[in-house]
Amino acid sequence: VSATNLSYRLVAMAVPPPASHSYGYLMFSFLCLSPILHTATASSSSSSSLSSLSFKLPPMGWMSWELFRCNVNCTGKYHDTCIGHDAFVKQATVLIKDGYFRAGYNRVHVDDCFANRQRDPVSGDIVADPTRFGTGGMRKLATDIAPVELAVYSDCGTMTCMGYPGSINHEVHDAKLFFQKWGATYLKYDGCYNNITGYPSGYAKMGQALRSAGGEKTYYSCSWPAYLGDDETKKPYAQMTAAGCDLWRNYGDIQCDLGSLMDIVDHYGDYSKFLATVSGQGKGYNDPDMLLIGNTCIPDGAARLQMAVWSILAAPLIMGNDLRLVPTPIRDQVLLNEEAIAIDQDPLGIPGYRASNKSDVAELWVRPKLADGGAAVAVVYKGGSSLTRARLERNPSGSAWTTRKIGAVQLGKTKKLTLHVPFGAEIGWSPPSGTASVRDIYARTSLGEHTSGVDVSLTVTEGIPETVLLRLSDAADSRAVSDARK
């Protein structure tokens, strides 16, 4: 077996199967994995870097694009799901009412299609469409959603991807408009209607303008690397840090289906060890795109998988759902799970990675450097080899789209899996005292104390992903915390 292979074998049948299915235990061993260990100190950038070295964690919030897209019809039944003032206020209201804001989801993101087709001929401003945002425009929206913060969108080209005014050659003007006049605290900066040679100067110009206009507490999200192909090792991440990017979209847009999610998980897994070396606190965060959690387009198991993988990667937690329709169980177990959020928002800001080889069956993802000296581990069951893989790609010359699909969905047998998670070199973490306390994050329960590793069990159905997310702590530290609370 290769040093980074994830091997498994079929053993005895476990629990009685449904009449139409048969299944057995699968025992997985994670053998001789070789993770990359990373320094716990955020690296300093050069004096020429525009990126803030202040304390920044992956941003959290809600974004319109995944479901509302470019719907500019705010009449009748579309009033609450269009790119308009009232729809955003309603999402912000739920953000506060249902506990998201308290959990850390503190922004509402207005994506493309909010503006008039032309700038104001006198002021030169980008103007929110007054038929959808009223005469108060974006400033009024920022006021009405407070204390939720406003995130806005523009483009490093002559136009946005959907043909609205871009910000190229207007960087200083627009930065003051977004952050000072409108009161936004976050800019997502897309890359349509520009090109590879124009990105370095274009993103750096806006980065400088944003720092001057908004200071160090604002966020600058760059779509730059998403337009440079699939090979992450060939992308100039040091330049992106120097340009002031706090985070960046690396890859294709996520679509509301299981195949798209799994394609993104595979891509980030394939490059995760490299990406962990170029990202994190003081550098910038990798953004695998919006959370689909709470939508009907993915099953609950895939929701648990996405939250776990995003938390391991130290990725932004920006929801792409209709908050009014999120089922309460998945909201409380996953989106509002304070322990999963704590892993994602760990103050060291050091990303994790996929420790095992890619597999259609099960994988091991680890984040071995947390601020309390512990580690996080996700045991990811991917559903077998029958998943549909789909990807929607954007062309930087505009909004041309290409869809790629592989395979077909075939839901199959139900099985009970027992998976062994070892401590030590395999996951890049060992308990200093020799004994670890293990906690199941989604079940919100302790799995006890263990020395060499821990077995976890889950019941799965072929074709439907599932994940166990664990937090590992040194048992001596856990006992000390428990005693202090008594």
- Say how far apart CA 427 and CA 31 lie, in whole Å: 10
Distance of CA 472 to the CA centre of its chain: 22
Question: pLDDT confidence of 42, banded at 50, 70, 90?
Answer: very low
Identified catalytic residue from 98, 155, 174, 253 = 253
- Please confirm, yes or no, whether 253 is among the known catalytic residues: yes
- Say how far apart CA 258 and CA 298 lie, in whole Å: 5
pLDDT of residue 216: 83
Percent of the chain with pLDDT over 90: 76
Q: Is the pLDDT reported for residue 17 higher than 80?
A: no
Q: Is the pLDDT reported for residue 406 higher than 80?
A: no
Summarised one tens digit per residue, pLDDT across range 99-144 is: 999 999 999 999 999 999 999 999 999 999 999 999 999 999 999 9
Summarised one tens digit per residue, pLDDT across range 332-383 is: 999 999 999 999 999 999 999 999 999 888 899 999 999 999 999 999 999 8
- Say how far apart CA 417 and CA 321 lie, in whole Å: 31
- Say how far apart CA 357 and CA 295 lie, in whole Å: 29
Identified catalytic residue from 111, 174, 190, 344 = 190
Residues 6+ apart with CB under 8 A from 49: 241, 242, 244
Q: Which residue has the tokens 């009024």?
A: 140
Least confident of 38-47, 125-134, 356-365, 404-413: 38-47
Is-contact 148 108, C-beta < 8 A?
yes
pLDDT of residue 463: 84
Residues 6+ apart with CB under 8 A from 346: 314, 367, 370, 371
Residues 6+ apart with CB under 8 A from 262: 302, 382, 383, 387, 389, 465
Helix (H, G, I), strand (E, B) or coil at 479: helix
Least confident of 258-267, 452-461, 476-485: 476-485
Q: Is the pLDDT reported for residue 408 higher than 60?
A: no
Is-contact 285 247, C-beta < 8 A?
yes
Least confident of 46-60, 64-78, 87-101, 460-474: 46-60
Q: Starting at the earlier edge strand, list the strands of the sheet with 149-155.
A: 285-287, 247-249, 219-222, 186-190, 149-155, 107-109, 60-63, 317-319
Q: Is the pLDDT reported for residue 409 higher than 60?
A: no
Handedness of CA 331, 336, 337, 342 (dihedral sign): positive
Percent of the chain with pLDDT over 70: 82
Give the chain's mean pLDDT: 86
pLDDT of residue 205: 98
- Please confirm, yes or no, whether 80 is among the known catalytic residues: no
Q: Is the pLDDT reported for residue 469 higher than 80?
A: yes
What phi, psi does 348 have (nearest 5°)? -70, -30
Residues 6+ apart with CB under 8 A from 36: 273, 276, 277, 353, 428
Q: Which residue has the tokens 């160090």?
A: 216
Question: pLDDT confidence of 402, banded at 50, 70, 90?
Answer: very low
pLDDT of residue 455: 95
Summarised one tens digit per residue, pLDDT across range 277-298 is: 999 999 999 999 999 999 999 9
Q: Is the pLDDT reported for residue 5 higher than 50?
A: no
Tell me which residue of 315, 349, 352 sits closest to 59, measured CA to CA: 315
Least confident of 43-52, 166-175, 321-330: 43-52
Question: pLDDT confidence of 260, banded at 50, 70, 90?
Answer: very high
Helix (H, G, I), strand (E, B) or coil at 143: helix
